[in-house]
Structure 1
Amino acid sequence: MREGTMTIIEDTWVKIEGLNIHLYMAGDEGETVVLLHGGGTDSAWLSWQPAILALSTRFRVIAPDLPGYGKSDTPRIQYTLQYYIDFLKRLLDQLGIERATLAGVSMGGGISIGFTLANPQRVHRLVPVDSYGIQRQYPGGLWGYYLVRLDWLNRFSWWLLARSRALTRASLQQIFHDPNALSETLVNEVYEEIRRPEAGLAFRSFQRHEVLRNGVRTNYLDRLNEIRAETLFIHGENDRLVPLACAREAHDRMPGSRLEVIPSCGHWPQREKPEEFNRILLEFLGAAKS
């Protein structure tokens, strides 16, 4: 159990199809908001700690460690986007949640969009944050493709990160716009996560499935107009991994959606600009129709 200011965050577990799944739960009033973290070495706590505290005074908040991440089990399977979409459905079923608001960052955003398209009746509001699934190209171009496809090179890069806090810090600076916003505490938390024995296994599998020589496997742009849930895109102005132009196009293709751009911010706005991010999210959830 973790304690925040006036908030107790429950550190708990559920078992889903034989897997031990770790999640954080906070708040017991209002609608349910499910927070989905990204890929790489991310976890529910790394991505969503400030947001859990901010949201839990008005909402029931659930933030799972997805399979292969954080404290959850890491089965030896193919970690595809569809796997995570199906997992989210099983999680909501297990928790008895018929309908929820979904907020997801990066890979978690792609999961939330895909889940909404597959299960429209179960999503109240949708908040993709610097989301995967709205871009045509993978970051890094041809170099990024070979880094993923040459498994030994991909594994070696993870091996290096796990042995160098300085390299871990440098990698985080690529997703932050302002290096001064990157606290030593956060660097330590990420470095601890990346030193897990199975760190990177799930994300490498996800990359192998998603990254193609000429782009990415999953691109939801042509289907966004099917979504009827109230939707807010939140995006860092200076995101190097998913450029702002991707979010602008997604917003343009989705009538009735909103786009909030956080200035001087990279790919991880809920950690780089937590106060501004939480204000935007709370305003949307408070103003959206119930």
Structure 2
Amino acid sequence: MTTPVVLLLDPIPADAVGDALAESFRFAGASDPILSAFDAGAGRGDGIFETLGVNDGRARGIDAHLDRFAASATKLDLPQPNLPQWRAAIERVLGELPRTGQASIRLVLTRGNGGTPTCWVTGSIVDGDFPERTTGIRVVTLSRGYANDVGEHAPWLLVGAKTLSYAVNMAALREAKRRGADDAVFVSTDGFALEGPTSSLLLRQGDRIVTPAIQHGILAGTTQADLFDVLTAEGFTCESRRIDTRELLRSDAAWLVSSVRLAAPITAVDGTDVATDPELTARMNAALLG
């Protein structure tokens, strides 16, 4: 089968096993119609997704992505996904992708039309070698429009869920481009750094690596969690806490990290050059790819 790969899932109860699971998949062509015009995912962005990075035939962080997928479903009051079914779907799509090079796998679950979810998994080859992993990215800080504790006081805003409603995130990236930057870091109205539109934020401060705490209105980062394991093994102290926006300028290094682009070092914030750590960046990306 040629890429991109599309695998459709028939939704089954979260505890279903055996034949029900085995018979719940079917491949579709990349141009086959699979989504109703009345599907809530298309009409309202009412659904969830995950994107997994793949290197040389291996998908990274399957457990972490599935856990976050289930957590997002809970936040949106969607039917709980059958995680063994989705895991098996990932393996089936992996089997259709090249065994060398980089690719991505995307899981999507929408509210569907009439109460039955629409579910699919895609696999695509990732072209390019991501030069920003070494050359870095310039970022601008953009207000998210609410305080850092909004997730605790307004859970209906779904700030900790990975939803299909990414229009604001894409608008932020376009605004960053308009300002002459490559990416953005969202900041709260009370002065704290949060995350990128499609990435998590990491800072190095001496032998300490910090990231914004997820209870303050951000998405739990799977790549960030992987890097914390790597960096802890290297002897760094890793912690999650509130990060004052001014720390972006005075840290020893900073990165935006994500499943496909991996660790991209931040070289400038709002037009001001900041310190980088090329050697640590190289080790981080090598660990993720390995």
TM-score range (shorter-chain normalised) is under 0.3
TM-score by length of 2: 0.27
Higher normalized strand content (fraction of residues): 2
Higher Cα radius of gyration:
2
TM-score by length of 1: 0.27
